[in-house]
Structure formats: structure tokens, C-alpha cells
């Protein structure tokens, strides 16, 4: 195989296909050149792009060319260029013994498009997931928390603690348990004898006997006399 002829012919074809984009970096001792690839949408401000740099080996295309991938930080933040390199080397092995740069560039271009489509899909799914989460959170805010027996009992217990209800109930219970005098009297039968015990205490009670000395001077009404005709101080024999 005439390696030089194969290589020179491919360079001429590539310069025609990628006119304005392909750059010849060196011609000696072997051709080295770069071709840019980019995903759809890159020209609109979004997407992936990188430079593929090829260097012929002396026996190319019976040998694989040297392939380098030049990227920027934005590319490396989104995809791993090592994955792209591995993909290109697999394609190169399948096309060994044939000029393959156009095939490799096309494979790289397709790989970038697939990666970018996946990136866009992931971003859209994240946006939708966030939107759904926000909507669900908003609905819960209006609906409130679903109440169960357990959650209600727990809430009521905490509410009563916060309001000091258990302490109030304890105080009311103690006051309720206090008995009135009547209740004490009915319950404690010994209170029935309290007055008698009081009187039996000797000199604890004294009676003024002088109050009863003139009882004989009192005139008692005859049971037969009319109470309406009785005048105190007058004799019944007024004849």
C-alpha cells in the first residue's frame, strides 16, 4: 500500500469537506490537523463542542492514527472526554486498513448530539420534577396535614400542655375534693354528738338563775278566755 498517497488523498478530500474549519497544524514528518465537531444547538448558545486532532502514523491506514481531543472547561463539566475517546478508538478499530478520519469525525459528531440530547432531557426532567414538587408543596399548604387518630391525640396532648390544662385540672380536682360543712357533718357521725359533748364539759356553760325568779308573778291566761278581750294589767272581774 502506498501510505503517502492514501494520506495525501485523504487530506485533500477532508479540506474540501471541512473547508474553513479544518486546520493543518503540520506536514512533516507526518500530517497533523484538527477538525472541530459540535452538537446541534451549539451555534445558538447551548450544546457541546470540541476539537479532534489527528496525526498520521507512518503506516496509516494500516495503523491507527493518533487522536487527541481538545476541550474547554464547560465541556468537561458536562461530559467525560475519555468516553468520547474510547468511542472513537472502537470506530477506528472497525475501519482499520481504510482511511477513516471522515468516519471518526462523523462518529464523534453523532456522539456529541446523543450526549447533548441526554443532557437536555435530564435538565427538563429536573425542571419538571421541581415544578411538580413545588405544586405538591403548595397543595399541601392549602390542604393542611391529614389528621389521623394518633396525630390528633398527640396534637391535643401537646396543646393541653402548652395551655397548662393538666395543671388546671389538677387544681380543680383538689378543690372539688374539698367537702362542705354539710358534707362533713353527714360523713362524720361524731359531729352529731358535738353539742352534747360541749354541754357535758362542766363549767363551760353557765346559766343565770336570776332570770327565772319572777316567774310566779306572771299571770297565765285562762284557756277559756278569748285572747282578743284580754288586756294586760286588768282583772277579769271588772264588776
Which of the residue ranges 17-31, 100-114, 191-205 would you say has the lowest mean pLDDT? Answer: 191-205
- pLDDT computed for residue 85 by the predictor: 95
Report how far residue 134's alpha carbon sits from residue 178's, in angstroms, rounded to the nearest whole number: 59
- pLDDT: is 121 or 180 the higher one? 121
Residue 187 has pLDDT above 70, yes or no: no
- pLDDT: is 138 or 52 the higher one? 52
Q: Is the pTM of this model over 0.85?
A: no
Residue 230 has pLDDT above 80, yes or no: no
Q: Which domains are delineated in the chain?
A: 3-120 (3.10.110.10), 146-190 (no CATH)
Q: What is the pLDDT of residues 131-179, one digit of tens each?
A: 888 887 777 777 666 778 888 888 888 888 887 776 776 766 666 666 6
- pLDDT computed for residue 239 by the predictor: 46
As a whole number, the mean pLDDT across the chain is 80
192 pLDDT tier (thresholds 50, 70, 90): low
Average pLDDT over residues 104-109: 95
SS (H, E, C) the chain: CCHHHHHHHHHHHHHHHCCCCCEEEECCCCCEEEEEEECCCHHHCCCCEEEEEEECCCCCCCCCCEEEEECCHHHHHHCCHHHHHHHHHHHHHHCCCCCCHHHHHHHHHHHHHHHHHHHHHHHHHHHHHHHHHHHHHHHHHHHCCCCCHHHHHHHHHHHHHHHCHHHHHHHHHHHHHCCCHHHHHHHCHHHHHHHHHHHCCHHHCCCCHHHHHHHHHCCCCCCCCCCCCCCCCCCCCCC
Amino acid at each position: 500500500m502506498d501510505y503517502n498517497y492514501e494520506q495525501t488523498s485523504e487530506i485533500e478530500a477532508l479540506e474540501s469537506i471541512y473547508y474553513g474549519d479544518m486546520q493543518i497544524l503540520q506536514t512533516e514528518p507526518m500530517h497533523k490537523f484538527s477538525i472541530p465537531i459540535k452538537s446541534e444547538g451549539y451555534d445558538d448558545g447551548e450544546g457541546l463542542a470540541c476539537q479532534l486532532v489527528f496525526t498520521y502514523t507512518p503506516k496509516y491506514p494500516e495503523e491507527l492514527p493518533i487522536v487527541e481531543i481538545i476541550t474547554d472547561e464547560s465541556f468537561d463539566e458536562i461530559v467525560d472526554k475519555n468516553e468520547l475517546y474510547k468511542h472513537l478508538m472502537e470506530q477506528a478499530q472497525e475501519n482499520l486498513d481504510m482511511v477513516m478520519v471522515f468516519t471518526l469525525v462523523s462518529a464523534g459528531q453523532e456522539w456529541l448530539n446523543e450526549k447533548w440530547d441526554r443532557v437536555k432531557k435530564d435538565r427538563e426532567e429536573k425542571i419538571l420534577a421541581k415544578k411538580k414538587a413545588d405544586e405538591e408543596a403548595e397543595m399541601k399548604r392549602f390542604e393542611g396535614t391529614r389528621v389521623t387518630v394518633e396525630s390528633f391525640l398527640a396534637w391535643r396532648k401537646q396543646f393541653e400542655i402548652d395551655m397548662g390544662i393538666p395543671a388546671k385540672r389538677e387544681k380543680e380536682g383538689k378543690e372539688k375534693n374539698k367537702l362542705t360543712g354539710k358534707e362533713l357533718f353527714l360523713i362524720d357521725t361524731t359531729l352529731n354528738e358535738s353539742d352534747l359533748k360541749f354541754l357535758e364539759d362542766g363549767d363551760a356553760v353557765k346559766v343565770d338563775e336570776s332570770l327565772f325568779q319572777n316567774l310566779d308573778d306572771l299571770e297565765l291566761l285562762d284557756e277559756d278566755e278569748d285572747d282578743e278581750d284580754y288586756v294586760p294589767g286588768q282583772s277579769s272581774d271588772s264588776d
